[in-house]
Chain A
Amino acid sequence: MNPLSEILTQWQTHEIVSPASAETIKQSENARPVSLYTLLRNLLYIGLVLFTSGAGMLIYLHIDTIGHDALIVVLALLTLGCFFYTYRHSPPFSISEVNSEGKFVDFVLLLGALLFLSLEGYAQWRYSLFGTRYGLAAFLPAAVFLFCAYRFDHRGVLSMGLTALASWAGLSIAPLEVLTGNDFGSTQIINTAVGFGLVVGGVSFGLAHRGIKTHFTNTYLILTGNLFFIGALAGLFTSDYWFLYALLISGCCTFFVWYARQKQSFIFLLMAILYGYIAFTYLLFSKIDDAGFWMVFGGFYFLASAGGVVMFILNYKKWLTN
């Protein structure tokens, strides 16, 4: 299947490589080892998640025989051990990216963060550590994780911190749960979601603008962008002030398209076009409230608009990748 010889012959014909170099390339390519890097890293992540889940269940089920205090102490020691190890073995803080990906310390920090969640939940369950101040219980992991994410440069812990921060604001930011985990029937939730998206997304953009952990911006915008768009769409569908939400959506869509083009991060283009399309189509159908008209032209509208989006992407591929 591999047309290596053919390509190398072409390169020789066009004098790009000498016959001797071609032979060397051929031999080294044929002997090139297959990398198991991504596979093993993912297995390590899965292993850690399974381990902490199992530990959590075990504690819950055998608490009466093990003893609460002993468990809290063990969990706390493990958590502290992980954070201490991370502190001792990670490079010093830098406002730019510190590449520790794939190193053991990266996983130890993640394990520490996961154990911290279990420890906090367990301490609250057993001793009502925070009493009824649930806000504080949600805010503490957010503060710890966000601090750790910046100090030790870890995007995974950043997404955990942002999720905890959203929980503190009473929102579910987890991408597959945005729609089901939030009650968008309530204006308060809609406005909180829109506000949270704008403020946290704005802060991340401000930090990136100052050169602080610019590589974190994608994680911020993926999590807060989804929440913002879904909240704003819910506002557009249900609120009397729909035009405000429409303006916000169009503003953010423009920003996301610009950002996608700037950073070549096309997930933002995907979000802008999909959410923008839903908002525009909804506005069109709700403002031209004529069933007979749409019976005839509905199919045509979707055909033409889908064709339009496709043609835009195909025609502007240079614009998108330059």
Chain B
Amino acid sequence: MKVYQESWLLNRYALGLAKKLQKEGTLTTAQAEAAQKLHADLPYSPNVFIKALLFIFGFIGFGFGGSFFTLLLIGDANWGLPIGALLYGGGTLFGLIHIIRQRKLYFSGIDNALLYCILGSLGPVFMKVSEISNFKEPWQFGLLYLPFLLMAVYSFGEPLVALGLFFDFLFIFASLLVKHPLGKAFLPFILSGVSVALFFLMHRFSKRRIAFYWQTALEWALPATLLCAYLSVNYMVVRYANASLNDLPMPAPEIQFAWLFWTLTFLVPLLQLGLGIRLRDRSIIVVALISALYSIITYRHYHSLLPLEWGLLLGGLILASLAYALLRYLKIPKLGFSVTPENSKNNLLQTVVLSHLTKTTQSAASQEVKMGGGDFGGGGAGEQY
């Protein structure tokens, strides 16, 4: 059962399209107003800060309501908590569906918070089941959660729950693989392959009209699969995972076929970048950049490429120059990309980052001052002291 009405999402999409076309002059004001009337049945999806408020107070309400409920109901020390949590979670789910329909909520913060809480309330029940069934391995606990996460993703299409489902599946799969010597030996390639296969399956699904209901979940899950595909074959991750799985002493010793993993560490970000450009997908390009950054960190972890200061200086220079060159190059759209200004302005982020940078630089300078000017680590050696 889909909890949100798909017509709300369609109306929201249509209205966004109408506004954009009106701004560009493709639709007249009269046409845009007619579209607005036609698509008036919209969900309540507020500003990010209102969402944050609803999210925080949703959590507070659920948490303290839970403790209040448990105090009233708990009697049996053995089954009191699991049954209480189940009843409370079930009641909240009922209330949540009611409030979503009544208030037309769609990822408004409160519905996200309550969904996480409802899934969390299954925890005590599953722990009890694990205890009774004498489960010894964590993946069995994950397996209990899997169908509920699947149902939640189907019904709500919530992006964080979708990520939870993906990672839960991957965790169970990897846990079963390492039980067999062959599975353990090929773990990086199998995990990477499964992630890539999931990416293409989901990507193909995302092109179909019926996938529209899960668009946000897919927008989150698709880059996550590619990031996993990369991390599974990243040299540093594989080397540490190999030591951890085989109980080898730290620091993690060298692995077999190191050259292959080094190649993949640098090849996969390039492939991701190519894929991002080919599919005209910004999020894949961001994943490629994150992967490339992690590849540099990996290389620096094992080899002294450049001193940090030169790395920062040259890296910053190359990054800024490339970004600037691309900003100029794409003024006339090419390869399906442009640099048309978008509505989202990261003013808050800019304020926070620059404020911290200023504070850090000033603090560093004033500390130097207070040291009395002792050269290079000779803090306190100045004549003032």
Contacts and interface: CB of A to CB of B under 8 A. Distances in A.
B324 A1 contact: no
Contact of B215 (A1, A53, A117): A1
Interface in B351-366: 351-359, 361-362, 364-366
Contacts of B53: 269-270, 273-274, 309, 313
Given A124-B365, A125-B365, A159-B350, A266 B47 contact: yes
A37 B356 CA distance: 24
A309 B345 CA distance: 28
Interface string A1-43: 1111011001100101100010011001100011111111111
Contacts of A274: 53, 56
A223 to B, nearest CB: 6
A50 B319 contact: yes
A270 B29 CA distance: 34
Contacts of A64: 376
A270 B56 CA distance: 10
Nearest to B308: A57
A210 B313 CA distance: 43
A175 interface: yes
Interface residues of A, number: 106
B40 to A, nearest CB: 13
Nearest to B113: A310
A81 interface: no
Contact of A303 (B65, B110, B211, B345): B65
Nearest to B31: A16
A50 B61 contact: no
Interface stretch (A82-90, A166-174, A188-196): A166-174
B212 to A, nearest CB: 5
Contact of A156 (B312, B317, B354): B354
B286 A39 contact: yes
Interface in B201-260: 206-209, 211-212, 215, 218
B377 to A, nearest CB: 11
A310 B110 contact: yes
A56 B57 CA distance: 44
B50 A320 contact: yes
B110 to A, nearest CB: 6
Interface stretch (A133-141, A236-244, A285-293): A133-141
Nearest to A162: B355
B101 interface: no
B333 A33 contact: yes
Nearest to A177: B359
Nearest to B328: A104
A172 B359 CA distance: 7
A175 B312 CA distance: 25
Contacts of B351: 155-156, 159, 175, 219, 222-223
A286 B294 CA distance: 50
A58 B65 contact: no
B309 A307 contact: no
Given A17-B27, A36-B330, A51 B206 contact: no
- Looking at chain B's contact residues, the main secondary structure is helix
Given A309-B53, A310-B61, A317-B44, A16 B316 contact: no
A118 interface: yes
Contacts of A52: 316
B242 to A, nearest CB: 32
B373 A125 contact: yes
B310 A58 contact: yes
Contact of A125 (B60, B323, B368): B368
A37 B333 CA distance: 11
Contact of A45 (B34, B57, B350): B350
B373 A302 contact: no
Given A34-B282, A44-B324, A51-B313, A134 B369 contact: yes
B362 A310 contact: no
B181 interface: no
Contacts of A43: 289, 319-320, 322-323
B41 to A, nearest CB: 13
Given A33-B337, A309-B53, A175 B310 contact: no
Question: Which of A47, A126, A137: most chain B Cβ within 10 A?
Answer: A47
Contacts of B318: 47
Given A43-B322, A53-B316, A54-B312, A7 B60 contact: no
B348 to A, nearest CB: 7
A55 B35 CA distance: 55
Contacts of A175: 351-352, 355-356
A6 B10 contact: yes
Given A124-B369, A270-B52, A58 B309 contact: yes
B200 interface: no
Interface in B65-81: 65, 67-68, 71
Contact of A50 (B17, B315, B359): B315
Contacts of B337: 33-36
A46 interface: yes
A17 B319 CA distance: 45
30 contacts: A1-B208, A11-B38, A14-B38, A16-B35, A21-B26, A36-B326, A37-B327, A37-B341, A38-B342, A47-B320, A54-B312, A57-B313, A101-B341, A117-B365, A121-B362, A121-B368, A128-B373, A141-B362, A159-B355, A174-B352, A174-B356, A175-B352, A175-B356, A176-B352, A266-B48, A300-B68, A302-B60, A302-B63, A313-B50, A317-B46
Interface of B: 10, 13-14, 17, 21, 26-27, 31, 34-35, 38, 44, 46-50, 52-54, 56-58, 60-61, 63-65, 67-68, 71, 103, 105, 110, 206-209, 211-212, 215, 218, 280-282, 285-286, 289, 307-324, 326-327, 330, 333, 336-342, 344-348, 350-359, 361-362, 364-366, 368-369, 373, 376
User: What 4 A-B pairs come out closest when comparing CB atoms?
Assistant: A121-B365, A47-B320, A54-B312, A50-B316
Interface of A: 1-4, 6-7, 10-11, 14, 16-17, 21, 24-25, 28-29, 33-58, 61, 63-64, 101-102, 104, 107, 110, 114, 117-118, 120-122, 124-126, 128, 134, 137-138, 141, 155-157, 159-160, 162-164, 167, 172-177, 181, 218-219, 222-223, 264, 266-267, 269-270, 273-274, 298-303, 305-307, 309-310, 313-314, 317, 320
